[in-house]
Structure 1
Amino acid sequence: MRPIRTTLLACLSIAAISAAQAQSQPPLKLGAILDMSGLYADITGTGSETAAKMAAEDFGGTVLGRKIEIIAADHLNKADLAASIARDMIDNQGVEAIIDVAASATALAAGEIAKARNKIIMYSGPGSVRLSNEACGPYTIHYSYDTFAQANVAGLASVKQGLDTWFFLSADYAFGQDLERDTTNVVKASGGKVLGSVKHPINTSDFSSFLLQAQSSNAKVIGLANAGGDTINAIKQAAEFGITRKGGQKILPLLAFITDIDSIGLETAQGLLIAGAFYWDMNDETRAFSKRFMERTKRVPTSAQAGLYSETMHYLQAVKAAGTTDAAAVMKKMKEAPINDFFARNGKIREDGRMVHDMYLFEVKKPSESKGRWDYYKLLATVPGDQAFQPLSASRCPLVKN
C-alpha cells in the first residue's frame, strides 16, 4: 500500500505544480474575429467561437504551462473594424494568433495587421483565393476552402453534365469577384461559355432585377458567387419566380453551407450541387464531433466551424512541439506536420499558406430521401486536394519561387 500511496502523492504534487505554473504564466490568447450578427453569423458566429473553445478544452486547456483562452469579437462585416479589432487584440490584449476572420474583405484587412506584427493568422471562414496569393504572408494560413477549389469542384462537375452556358450573380466585394473569376476560368477551360454577369451589394434582400437579367440570358446555369444570407435569398426568390421549374435553368450556389440549406428547405434546395470541405454525416469521426458540437449549439457544424476547430488544434499541437509561441518556430512545425483528423484528409500546409486537403461534391437530397433535419447531402465525389486547389506552380504568392 505504501508504494501506491507514494506514487499517488507524487502524481498529485506534479498536478499541483502544473496548475500553479499555469496560474503564474500569462494565458495564451487566440483571437477570433467573427460575424456574430450579420449574414454570415450562422456560417461562423458563435458556432465558430464554440468550435475554437472545444479545441482548447480537448487539447487539455493549457500549453507550455499557460492557460489557453479564446476571445471573440464581432467585425460587423466592416473591413476597417476588423483591422481595428486585430490591432487591439495584438497590441493591447496580448493575442498570440488570430483565427477565422469570417468574410474575405475583413480577412484581407486583418491579415495586413497580423503581417505587420509578425503574428500567425489562420483563416477558416473567408474564401478569397487572394489570401494565399497576393495577400499571403510568412505566417498566414488559409485553411478550410477557397474560391479556386469551390469553382473547380462544383463548376467543373456542372460543365461535365452539359451545363455549359453560365450567367453569374456575384457579391460585389473581394470574395464574389474572385469566385466569379475562378469559376469563369473553369467554365471556359472546359469548353463552356459565360453569357453575362451582374454584381449585387452585400446583404441584398431583393434579387428580382438581378434574377430577371439572369433569366433573360437563357444561360443553362445561374451561378451564385455569393454566400450566407445572399445565397439563401437568391435561391428562395429564384424558386418563387419559377426560374428553375418553368424556365429549366439550373441554380448553382458556388459556396453554400449546410445552415443555408436548412434555411432554404429541401423542397426548394433539392438537387443543388454543393462543393464543400466537410459534411457532418460522412463517417464515425465527423458524427462524433458533430454530436458534441450539437449538444452546445443545437445545430450541426458548418465546414468553416469544423475547420476552425481543426486549425486551432493544429496550432496548439505546433506550439507544444516547438516549445514556444514564436511565430516562425510554430509555423515551421505547422507546415511540417500532416493533418489527418475528422475535418481533413491528406492535409498539408504549403509554402504559400494554403492548407491542401480533400474536397467533396455533394447533391442536396429530395425531401423523400432525408431521414430528418440535417440529413441533407449525398456524396457524389471526393476530389483529392492536389486536384481541387490551385497548383503551387500557378501561385501569385511572393513567397513561392516558381
Structure 2
Amino acid sequence: MQKLSVAIAAGLALAATSGAAQAQISDDIVKIGVLTDMSSLYADATGKGSLAAVEMAVADYGGKVAGKPVAVVAADHQNKPDVGVNIARNWYDNDKVDAIFDVPTSSVALPVSALTREKNRININSGGGSSDITGTACSPNTVHWTYDTYALSNVAGRAMVKRGEDSWFFVTADYAFGMALQRDAANVVKESGGKVLGEVRHPLNSSDFSSFLLQAQASKAKVVALANAGGDTTNALKQASEFGLTQGGQKMIALLQEITDTHSLGIKATQGLIVTDAFYWDMNEETRAFSKRFNEKVGHMPTMIQAGLYSATMHYLKAIDAIKTDEAPKVMEEMRKTPINDFFARNGKIRIDGRMVHDMYLFEVKKPEESKGEWDLYKLIATVPGDEAFRPLDKGGCPMVTGH
C-alpha cells in the first residue's frame, strides 16, 4: 500500500512538473494578430497579402510551436488610430493575442507599439514606416522588421544627390509617416550637399494632386520627391505624368513605392523611376520560389512588407521553439540574439532599439523594351549594406540606447 502511495505521489509530482513545463505557452495556444489595412490605400501593399504571408509561414512551420497550436486572427484598422488601438486592446485583454504583426500607417503603428509595451506583449511591425518607431518612441517589446523612413530616404537621397540631382521639392502626406519621411529625406539631401527648395502637404488618401504638383513644377527643383505611399503615390505619379513634370526635365522619386504600385501604374508610366526597396521577387532562386507560391495564393507578387512578414513570423516561431515559452521578454531576448538568414535577409540582426537591420536595394524601373514579363519591372542599381542603410544606433534618440 505504501509503495502504491509513493508511486501515486511520484506520478502526481511528475504530472505537476510536466504541467508546469507545458504551461510555459500561455493559454496552450500561440495567437498572432495581423492588424492591417484591408480596404483602403495600403490594402494592396499590406492587407490580405499580409495575412496570407503570416498564414503561409505558420503552415510551413507545421501549424504548431513547442507542441502547441498557432492561431492567426486579422482585422482592418481602417488607417484610424482609435480603431487600431481599440482592436489591439481587445485582442490583448480578451482574445489573448500574444503578438501583433504588420500595422501599416504610422499614426496607428506608434500607439499600438505603446499599448503593446503596456500589456507586455510583442509587436512586430512590417507595414508602418516612421523611423520614430525605433527612435524616440522605441520599445523593448517592438521590432521594426522591413523598412523605415530613414532607410528609404537615406538610400535614395544619397544616390540621387551624388548623380547631380541636388535640388528637391517634397509632396508630402500630412500625417506621421509622411512628415517623418520628408524630415529624414531632407536631412540626407542637405548632408549630401543638396538643397530643399520647398514642400507642400496633402491630406491622406487624396484624389486630386493638381495644385500640389503645379507648385512642385513651379519650383524648378530637379527632383520632385513623393513622401507618401500606396494610392497617394500612384495618384500623384499618374497626375505628374499628365502635367508633364518628367517631360519638363524634373526627376520623380517615390520614396515609398511598392511593386504592386509600379505594376498597377504600368511600366510605360513609371519607366526610369527610382525606387528603394527591401525585397524584390526576382533576386535569386529563394526569392523566386517564395514569390511564386505567394502569387499563386494571392494573385500578385509579394511587396517587401508581405515578404518581411513571412520572415518575421518564422523568426518569432523559432524563438518560441528554442526557449519553449511565449513570454514576451524572453522571446524578444531570443529573437535579438539570433541572426536572421532566409530569403528576405542575410545576416539580419535585431538591435536593442528594435530595428531589424538588413540590406536595402535601389532599383530603377525598366523601360518597356527591357521587360520580359508582367512582373519583370526593376533593375538593380545598388545594394546598400544594412549598417549603412539604416540610421546609426546612437542617432535615433531611443531612450533604451541613450539610457534616459
Q: Same fold (TM over 0.5)?
A: yes
Deviations 1:151-187 (A, max 9, x none): 0111111111100000000000011001000000010
Provide the C-alpha distance between the structure 1 equivalents of 2:46 and 2:356, rounded to a whole number of angstroms: 19
3-state SS, counterpart of residue 222 of structure 1: strand
Partner of 1:4: none
Deviations 1:220-241 (A, max 9, x none): 0000000000000000000011
Partner of 2:356: 355
Q: Does 1:390 align with 2:384?
A: no
Deviations 1:182-217 (A, max 9, x none): 000010011100000000000000000000000000
Q: Percent identity?
A: 60
Q: Does 1:249 align with 2:244?
A: no
Shift of residue 298, structure 1, vs aligned partner: 1.3
After superposition, residues 226-241 of structure 1 pair within 5 angstroms as 226-241=228-243
Residues 25, 66 of structure 1: 8 Å contact kept: no
Q: Does 1:199 align with 2:194?
A: no
Partner of 1:314: 315
After superposition, residues 36-51 of structure 1 pair within 5 angstroms as 36-51=38-53
Provide the C-alpha distance between the structure 2 equivalents of 1:166 and 1:301, rounded to a whole number of angstroms: 30
Partner of 2:55: 53
Residues 104, 126 of structure 1: 8 Å contact kept: yes
Q: What TM-score results when the alignment is normalised by the length of structure 2?
A: 0.93
After superposition, residues 266-345 of structure 1 pair within 5 angstroms as 266-345=267-346
Residues 146, 305 of structure 2: 8 Å contact kept: yes
Deviations 1:243-263 (A, max 9, x none): 111x11111000100000011
Shift of residue 112, structure 1, vs aligned partner: 1.6
Deviations 1:25-58 (A, max 9, x none): 6321100100000000000000000000001011
Letter in 1 for 2:121: K
Partner of 1:154: 156
Residues 132, 396 of structure 2: 8 Å contact kept: no
Gaps of 5+ in 2: 1-21
Partner of 1:217: 219
Partner of 2:110: 108
Partner of 2:10: none
After superposition, residues 167-178 of structure 1 pair within 5 angstroms as 167-178=169-180
Shift of residue 111, structure 1, vs aligned partner: 1.2
Partner of 1:70: 72
The 4+ residue runs of structure 1 with deviation greater than 2 A are 24-27
Provide the C-alpha distance between the structure 2 equivalents of 1:211 and 1:346, rounded to a whole number of angstroms: 41
Partner of 2:135: 133
Shift of residue 110, structure 1, vs aligned partner: 1.1
Deviations 1:107-158 (A, max 9, x none): 0121121111011101001110010011111111000000000001111111
Q: 1:96 is matched with which residue: 82, 98, 107?
A: 98
3-state SS, counterpart of residue 28 of structure 2: coil
Residues 25, 65 of structure 1: 8 Å contact kept: no
Shift of residue 346, structure 1, vs aligned partner: 2.1
Partner of 2:188: 186
Partner of 1:399: 400
Provide the C-alpha distance between the structure 2 equivalents of 1:164 and 1:282, rounded to a whole number of angstroms: 30
Partner of 2:3: none
Letter in 2 for 1:168: F
Shift of residue 395, structure 1, vs aligned partner: 2.4
Provide the C-alpha distance between the structure 1 equivalents of 2:379 and 2:204, rounded to a whole number of angstroms: 30
Number of positions where the alignment pairs a residue of Structure 1 with one of Structure 2? 380
3-state SS, counterpart of residue 346 of structure 1: coil
Shift of residue 322, structure 1, vs aligned partner: 1.4
3-state SS, counterpart of residue 322 of structure 2: helix
Letter in 2 for 1:82: G
Partner of 2:6: none
Provide the C-alpha distance between the structure 2 equivalents of 1:26 and 1:47, rounded to a whole number of angstroms: 28
Q: 1:31 is matched with which residue: 27, 30, 33?
A: 33
Gaps of 5+ in 1: 1-20
3-state SS, counterpart of residue 71 of structure 2: strand
